[in-house]
């Protein structure tokens, strides 16, 4: 019997897909990578994942795990090899409001987690545009970020325990609900952000938080990014650290948004160069109970601080959302970033992280370099400014691989010089392998190779991703 015959007997023939049935698994979300997998496996549970990996490992074959396939770095490319979809592992095993935890399988879509925990007055505060299709296993595998990292941290900070199947089919049960467990190496953190190269995540214990009773959201225009940082620090001090999101949309982003999405009206009467979306949230009833004037104290706090900055000239304009509809409109502008950037030709998309006080310097330097290398290139910037994560996209004027490589290396040069990272929240996959080879500390790369060899000695799990070959 062939390997595929064994796998069909294990999973059922309807869950071993090939040919036209596998077409929807044969490209990445951006359309940068296209491939033809040998077959797509759709196990129903952890035990089927373990049994399938045992067969694959014994045969010396390779396998690429896939969740919602919303990644941006080609991490699910699988030419001529097996893919293992986690989409059928889609059960929420438990929601425990008392311990503020949720136990979920890897194939649960992020938005479904949001909806399920909301019924218990809780939130899982991982938030980004692809939440309607991204699955929690992929979020963990890339250590996804999003808009609320400023307050709650990346996915790693929101996970207590994991269930992982290793390359040979061994099940590693790390499904701890503990907030403290100092018993040796923290194996959980090895698999978060590893993009399926060390093991396949099948379930997780997630941290939940009480749902805020009040949100105060505003669009603010400030003279410079230095003023934006002053605004962030002022609001953090005034609110006691309750700033959830602090998003930067420059004037050029707003111009592009106006062209691509004219239905989303601009936030101010006049074009502004530095536009900030800020959101503050509180779980305290005192912040959510309207005063005699009908205004929630949290909104009054935000309005007071913004009024003071407007009076001093540290802010140029501000609009505070007066309703949930206005709040959603503000967020719609920010969450349209992927929509208005995809499908407009070959691009150099960078997902970098900078110290907060060096973001402006990075943008200034990159503007100068792009002007020298390709003066007519189109550039779009949008940022999770509160945590220093900048999404910097360049559309060169010509389809030239050499120019794209030069632009990407230039971004890396500037980021490295300013003490930043070439990868913030999207993962490595295939796209950033050259960056890893150029920029990652050689000793760190060697340790990563040793870990990979120890956990996956045959190299069967998502081969050729994350760690560049020697």
Pick the CATH number of 92-210 from 3.30.465.10, 3.30.70.420, 3.30.70.1230, 1.20.1250.20: 3.30.465.10
Q: How many CA atoms lie within 13 A of 169 on its CB side?
A: 14
Domains 92-210 and 214-337 share a fold: no
For the chain, the maximum distance between any two Cα atoms, rounded to a whole number of angstroms, is 78
- The pLDDT assigned to 224 comes to 97
Instruction: Give the integer Cα–Cα distance in Å for 7 and 49.
Output: 11
Decide: 387 and 103 in contact? Cβ < 8 Å: no
Instruction: Give the integer Cα–Cα distance in Å for 320 and 295.
Output: 12
Instruction: Give the integer Cα–Cα distance in Å for 201 and 343.
Output: 31
Is the pTM for the entire model greater than 0.85?
yes
Measured in degrees and rounded to the nearest 5, phi and psi for residue 455 equal -90, -25
Helix, strand, coil in percent for the chain, rounding step 5: 40, 20, 40
Quickly count: other Cβ atoms within 10 Å of residue 442's Cβ.
Answer: 8
- The pLDDT assigned to 156 comes to 97
Query: Would you state the structure tokens that stand for residue 222, as one six-digit string?
Result: 């400030």
Angle of helix 3-11 versus helix 46-59 axis, rounded to 10: 170
pLDDT tens digits for the chain (470 residues)?
A: 699 999 999 999 999 999 999 999 999 988 889 999 999 999 999 999 999 999 999 999 999 999 999 998 999 999 999 999 999 999 999 999 999 999 999 999 999 999 999 999 999 999 998 999 999 999 999 999 999 999 999 999 999 999 999 999 999 999 999 999 999 999 999 999 999 999 999 999 999 999 999 999 999 999 999 999 999 999 999 999 999 999 999 999 999 999 999 999 999 999 999 999 999 999 999 999 998 888 899 999 999 999 999 999 999 999 999 999 999 999 999 999 999 988 777 899 999 999 999 999 999 999 999 999 999 999 999 999 999 999 999 999 999 999 999 999 999 999 999 999 999 999 999 999 999 999 999 999 999 999 999 999 999 999 999 999 88
Question: Quick one: fold of 214-337?
Answer: Alpha-Beta Plaits (3.30.70)
The order of strands in the sheet holding 243-250 is: 317-320, 214-222, 274-282, 243-250, 378-384, 389-395, 348-353
Decide: 155 and 192 in contact? Cβ < 8 Å: yes
Instruction: Give the integer Cα–Cα distance in Å for 277 and 249.
Output: 8
Query: Would you state the structure tokens that stand for residue 253, as one six-digit string?
Result: 């982003």
Decide: 198 and 452 in contact? Cβ < 8 Å: yes
DSSP letter string, 425-469: SS--TTTTHHHHHHHS-HHHHHHHHHHHHHH-TT--BSTTSSSPP
Map out the domains of the chain as residue ranges. Answer: 3-85, 92-210, 214-337, 343-427
C-alpha closest to that of 132 among 37, 29, 26, 261: 29
Query: Would you state the structure tokens that stand for residue 397, as one six-digit string?
Result: 């004027």
3-85 belongs to CATH 1.20.58.1000: no
Query: Would you state the structure tokens that stand for residue 444, as one six-digit string?
Result: 């760190």
Quickly count: other Cβ atoms within 10 Å of residue 34's Cβ.
Answer: 10
Residue 201, SS3 per DSSP: strand
343-427 belongs to CATH 3.10.290.10: no
Instruction: Give the integer Cα–Cα distance in Å for 393 and 379.
Output: 6
């Amino acid at each position: 019997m062939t390997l595929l015959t064994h796998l069909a007997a294990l999973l059922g023939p309807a869950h071993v897909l090939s040919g036209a049935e596998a077409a929807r698994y044969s490209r990445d979300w951006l359309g940068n990578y296209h491939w033809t997998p040998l077959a797509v496996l759709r196990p129903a549970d952890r035990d089927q994942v373990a049994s399938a990996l045992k067969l694959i490992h014994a045969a010396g074959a390779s396998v690429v795990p896939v969740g919602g396939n919303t990644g941006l770095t080609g991490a699910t490319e699988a030419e001529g090899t097996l893919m293992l979809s986690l989409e059928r592992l889609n059960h929420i095993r438990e929601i425990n409001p008392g311990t503020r935890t949720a136990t979920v399988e890897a194939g649960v879509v992020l938005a479904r987690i949001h909806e399920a925990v909301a019924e218990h007055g809780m939130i899982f505060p991982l938030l980004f545009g692809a939440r309607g299709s991204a699955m929690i296993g992929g979020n963990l595998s890339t250590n996804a970020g999003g808009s609320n990292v400023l307050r709650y941290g990346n996915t790693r900070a929101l996970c207590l325990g994991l269930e992982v199947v290793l390359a040979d089919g061994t099940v590693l049960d790390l499904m701890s609900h503990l907030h403290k467990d100092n018993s040796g190496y923290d194996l959980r953190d090895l698999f978060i952000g590893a993009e399926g190269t060390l093991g396949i995540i099948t379930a997780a214990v997630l941290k939940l938080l009480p749902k805020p009773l009040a949100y105060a959201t505003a669009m603010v225009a400030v003279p410079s990014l230095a003023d934006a940082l002053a605004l962030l620090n002022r609001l953090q001090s005034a609110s006691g650290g309750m700033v959830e999101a602090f998003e930067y949309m420059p004037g050029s982003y707003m111009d592009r948004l106006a062209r691509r999405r004219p239905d989303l009206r601009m936030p101010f009467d006049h074009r502004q160069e530095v536009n900030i979306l800020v959101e503050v949230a509180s779980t305290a009833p005192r912040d959510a109970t309207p005063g005699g004037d009908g205004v929630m104290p949290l909104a009054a706090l935000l309005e007071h601080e913004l009024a003071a900055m407007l009076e001093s000239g540290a802010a140029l304009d501000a609009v505070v959302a007066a309703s949930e509809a206005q709040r959603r409109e503000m967020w719609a502008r920010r969450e349209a970033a992927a929509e208005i950037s995809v499908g407009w030709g070959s691009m150099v998309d960078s997902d970098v992280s900078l110290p907060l006080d060096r973001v402006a310097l990075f943008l200034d330097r990159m503007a100068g370099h792009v002007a020298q290398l390709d003066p007519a290139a189109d550039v779009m910037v949008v940022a999770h400014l509160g945590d220093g994560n900048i999404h910097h996209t360049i559309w060169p004027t010509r389809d030239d691989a050499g120019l794209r490589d030069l632009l990407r290396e230039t971004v890396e040069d500037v980021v490295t010089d300013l003490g930043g990272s070439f990868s913030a929240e999207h993962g490595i996959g295939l796209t950033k392998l050259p960056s890893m080879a150029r920029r990652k500390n050689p000793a760190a790369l060697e340790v990563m190779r040793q870990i990979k060899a120890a956990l996956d000695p045959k190299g069967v799990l998502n081969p050729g991703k994350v760690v560049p070959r020697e």
